Amino acid sequence: MLGKEGHNIILHGRSKAKLDNIKGALEAQYPGSTFAAVQADLSLFDDVKQLAVEVKAKYKHLF
């Protein structure tokens, strides 16, 4: 898993509560990695556009 290798990882989901829960669990399991959570419903085009804007503003490049 990327968490074991110390990567910065972006999590995506529709539910903020579930995202916060999994983010906390992953941070506890992989303390050397950084996890960010972005909430969006990919079935809604406006959410997709907002997700793209958020990610683009925060990160210069993705792999």
pLDDT computed for residue 57 by the predictor: 92
| Pairwise CA distance, residues 24 & 22, whole Å | 5
pLDDT computed for residue 63 by the predictor: 75
For 26-56, write each residue's pLDDT tens digit: 999 999 899 999 999 999 999 999 999 999 9
pLDDT computed for residue 41 by the predictor: 96
Over range 2-24, report the average pLDDT: 90
Over range 11-23, report the average pLDDT: 96
pLDDT computed for residue 62 by the predictor: 79
Q: How many CB atoms lie within 10 A of CB 1?
A: 10
